[in-house]
């Protein structure tokens, strides 16, 4: 049977970092009836936004827009950048560099500061770059770079931005939000965003953007019109009289609400600890098997607790690995769409945090590589991962 003929929906385990699996809580809540644009729904939506703000740790405004996470950067950049404005883009991977395209598409000047994909951004180098560049409209950074799996020191960078420039500080929390601590106000982030389909275990369809008073002030005082109507943040904050509000995917709001209630019911410390334990077990299992991680260090930080980027063994048939993992073992396993020679493993949703999933994933990967002639230490890998996973019982 070929990979194309295999029906993943029969029995499928998602090992990736893209679209998250729904868990039973979010899926069940999506079936709840709803009525858009009435008082009850708006009350429910306002309560949900307050819960999101609590998870963001911010008193700033929160805007919820219909769209995927990529809309976050488009909306932010299109609102704050005018032609000729200079934006310092901090990057050590695909998504950091992606912002260059967004800035240039809105006629801004993107200044790319790029560092090694194997290490977190160096605050000292960032400070030198900021001082060298002078006048900036914004500085952008990834909290976790999905490409490399690396957690960046966004608090230190935020302090440097505020001490050395009047620029707005923009932080992408696409992959980390809900799985690692996010502290918008503590970081000094003027704009921060995430979406519904990563650690919130909900479908694609909602992006959440926090906006500071300083950012609103810059948006309102623009000298040129915002390029676009849908991505203009002001009508989302202050609906225009007589105009219909953009529709919101109420079923996805129900899903996000269910996940938020679960997170706060169990406590943030326990939730973040589950991600930390699962990621640590996965990393150690991969290393003990004989594979290499992309990051130079195997510790967290700089490794994140939501994405693990692994190097393929030299000379291995990547397509064959994907086929065996998918067809024989039912694991959605793909080469990195961002970086040749690597693959990403996620610990972003409930199913990926379970010991059963992690041990099954390590076992199947080891068996697949062994079949393809790669020498692996599978028993050692399973034993090492399992020892760490036993501590998950304490945070259930």
Q: For the segment 369-394, what is each residue's pLDDT rounded down to a tens digit?
A: 999 999 999 999 999 999 999 987 77
The rounded mean pLDDT for the chain is: 91
- 149 in the same domain as 79: yes
- pLDDT of 247 higher than 80: no
Give the total number of structural domains in the chain. 2
- 333 in the same domain as 231: no
Is 5 inside a domain boundary? no
Mean pLDDT on 44-56: 96
- 271 in the same domain as 242: no
CATH code of residue 357: 3.90.1150.10
Q: What is the pLDDT of residue 196?
A: 95
- 78 in the same domain as 58: yes
Is 4 inside a domain boundary? no
- 381 in the same domain as 276: yes
Is 292 inside a domain boundary? yes
- 390 in the same domain as 373: yes
Asked which of 233, 262, 291 is the last residue of a domain, the reply is 262
CATH code of residue 75: 3.40.640.10
- pLDDT of 6 higher than 50: no
- pLDDT of 8 higher than 50: no
CA distance 25 to 34: 17
Is 294 inside a domain boundary? yes
Mean pLDDT on 146-154: 95
Is 200 inside a domain boundary? yes
Where residue 13 falls among pLDDT bands split at 50, 70, 90?
Answer: confident
- 292 in the same domain as 246: no
Is 8 inside a domain boundary? no
- 222 in the same domain as 301: no
- 65 in the same domain as 145: yes
Mean pLDDT on 32-40: 74
- 256 in the same domain as 303: no
- Provide the residue range defining the domain that includes 320: 13-17+267-395
Q: What is the pLDDT of residue 395?
A: 67
Q: What is the pLDDT of residue 329?
A: 92
Mean pLDDT on 165-182: 97
Q: What confidence tens digit (pLDDT) does each residue in 314-357 have?
A: 999 988 998 999 889 999 877 787 788 899 999 998 889 999 99
- 274 in the same domain as 258: no
- 232 in the same domain as 274: no
Is 339 inside a domain boundary? yes
Asked which of 262, 280, 313 is the last residue of a domain, the reply is 262
Where residue 137 falls among pLDDT bands split at 50, 70, 90?
Answer: very high
- pLDDT of 79 higher than 50: yes
Q: What is the pLDDT of residue 393?
A: 72
Asked which of 206, 227, 262 is the last residue of a domain, the reply is 262
Is 352 inside a domain boundary? yes
Q: What is the pLDDT of residue 22?
A: 79
């Amino acid at each position: 049977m070929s990979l194309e003929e295999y029906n993943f929906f029969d029995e499928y385990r998602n090992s990736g970092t893209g679209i998250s699996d729904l868990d039973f809580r979010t899926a069940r809540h999506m079936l709840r009836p709803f009525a858009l644009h009435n008082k009850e729904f708006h009350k429910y939506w306002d309560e949900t936004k307050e819960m999101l703000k609590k998870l963001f740790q911010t008193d700033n405004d929160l805007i919820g827009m219909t769209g995927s996470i990529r809309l976050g950067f488009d909306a932010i950049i299109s609102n704050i950048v005018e032609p000729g404005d200079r934006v310092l883009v901090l990057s050590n991977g695909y998504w950091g560099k992606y912002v260059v395209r967004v800035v240039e598409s809105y006629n801004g000047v993107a200044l790319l500061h790029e560092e090694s994909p194997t290490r977190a951004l160096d605050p000292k180098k960032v400070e030198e770059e900021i001082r060298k560049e002078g006048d900036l409209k914004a500085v952008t950074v990834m909290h976790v770079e999905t490409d490399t799996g690396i957690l960046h020191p966004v608090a230190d960078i935020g302090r440097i931005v505020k001490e050395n420039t009047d620029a707005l500080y923009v932080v992408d929390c696409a992959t980390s939000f809900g799985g690692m601590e996010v502290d918008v106000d503590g970081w000094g982030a003027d704009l921060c965003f995430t979406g519904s389909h990563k650690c919130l275990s909900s479908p694609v369809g909602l992006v959440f953007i926090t906006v500071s008073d300083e950012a609103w002030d810059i948006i309102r005082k623009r000298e040129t019109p915002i390029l676009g109507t849908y991505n203009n943040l002001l009508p989302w904050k202050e609906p225009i009289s007589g105009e219909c509000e953009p529709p919101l995917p109420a079923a996805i709001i129900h899903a996000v609400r269910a996940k938020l209630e679960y997170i706060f019911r169990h406590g943030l410390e326990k939730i973040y600890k589950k991600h930390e334990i699962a990621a640590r077990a996965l990393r150690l299992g991969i290393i003990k098997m004989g594979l290499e991680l992309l990051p130079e260090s195997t510790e967290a930080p700089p490794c994140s607790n939501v994405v693990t980027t692994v190097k393929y063994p030299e000379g291995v048939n990547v397509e064959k690995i994907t086929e065996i993992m998918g067809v024989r073992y039912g694991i959605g396993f793909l080469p990195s769409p961002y970086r040749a020679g690597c693959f990403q493993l996620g610990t972003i949703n409930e199913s990926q945090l379970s010991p059963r999933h992690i041990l099954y994933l390590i076992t199947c990967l080891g068996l697949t590589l062994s079949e393809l002639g790669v020498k692996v230490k599978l028993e050692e890998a399973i034993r090492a991962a399992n020892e760490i996973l036993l501590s998950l019982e304490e945070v259930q």
